[in-house]
């Protein structure tokens, strides 16, 4: 490890602050040009994938589950409802509704839980939506739904260009003389835990 830091309190082990509006707080990069950075404003960008490492096989193995990415900034929620004579009104979770902009178009996907003529979203409001059965059906089945809405404050962002940030990172990196050709980028199936790789510093008795 180039840097090993450890504490046993509730304060940050490492605290990094950058007060410049578009500055970098943290940059991690390899010799192949891949990087992961934290930028002021709370933004995290990585050239690789963002994953959760989850134990399986009773804890004997750990596997990576990959985050779903999209060209725009979406928040989603899931739930269930019940038709009554072919109609159901769904109210959005009020906390979730505060995180998204439902004044603009959002998407709802329906999965019926039983035999019916089919379901459709009859209307949408900022607070919820109405589900109806096709062909004026009167079923009383349950259904699941998925709602996807734009994150509030990020509605106009789509495929934001990060070329300049990438160039800045490359310019920041020192270039040692007679350096070897950068190795090819790896794509491990199960990334090793950096915590497991670190070796605690031995303290004198």
pTM recorded for the entire structure: 0.77
The percent of residues above 70 in pLDDT, for the chain, comes to 84
The percent of residues above 90 in pLDDT, for the chain, comes to 78
Model pLDDT for residues 40-58, shown as the tens digit of each residue: 999 999 999 999 999 999 9
User: What integer pLDDT is reported at residue 179 of this predicted model?
Assistant: 55
Residue 182: pLDDT above 70?
A: no
Higher pLDDT, 117 or 175: 117
Three-class HEC string of the chain:
CCCCCCCCCCCCCCCCCCCCCCCEEEEEECCCCCEEEEECCCEEEECCCCEEEEEEHHHCEEEEEECCCCCECEEEEEEEEECECCEEEEECCHHHHHHECCCCCCEEEEEECCCCCCEEEEEECCCEEEEEEHHHCCCCCEEEEEEEEEECCCCCCECCCCHHHHHHHHHHCCCCCCCCCCCCCCCCCCCCCHHHHCCCCCCCC
User: What integer pLDDT is reported at residue 196 of this predicted model?
Assistant: 47
Residue 189: pLDDT above 90?
A: no
């Amino acid at each position: 490890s180039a840097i090993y830091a450890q504490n046993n309190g509730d304060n940050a082990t490492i605290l990094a602050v950058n007060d410049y509006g578009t500055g970098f707080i943290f940059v991690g990069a390899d010799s192949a040009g891949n990087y992961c950075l934290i930028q002021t404003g709370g933004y995290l960008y990585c050239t690789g994938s963002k994953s959760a490492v989850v134990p399986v096989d009773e804890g004997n193995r750990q596997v990576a589950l990959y985050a779903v990415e999209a060209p725009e900034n979406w928040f989603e929620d899931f739930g269930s409802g019940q038709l009554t004579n072919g109609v159901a009104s769904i109210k959005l979770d009020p906390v979730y509704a505060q995180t998204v902009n439902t004044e603009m178009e959002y998407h709802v996907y329906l999965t019926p839980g039983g035999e019916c003529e089919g379901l459709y979203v009859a209307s949408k409001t900022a607070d919820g939506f109405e589900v109806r059965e096709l062909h004026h059906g009167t079923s009383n089945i349950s259904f699941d739904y998925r709602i996807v809405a734009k994150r509030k404050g990020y509605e106009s962002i789509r495929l934001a260009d990060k070329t300049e940030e990438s160039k800045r990172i490359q310019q920041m990196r020192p270039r040692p003389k007679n350096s070897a050709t950068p190795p090819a980028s790896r794509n491990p199936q199960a990334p090793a835990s950096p915590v497991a790789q670190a070796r605690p510093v031995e303290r004198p008795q």
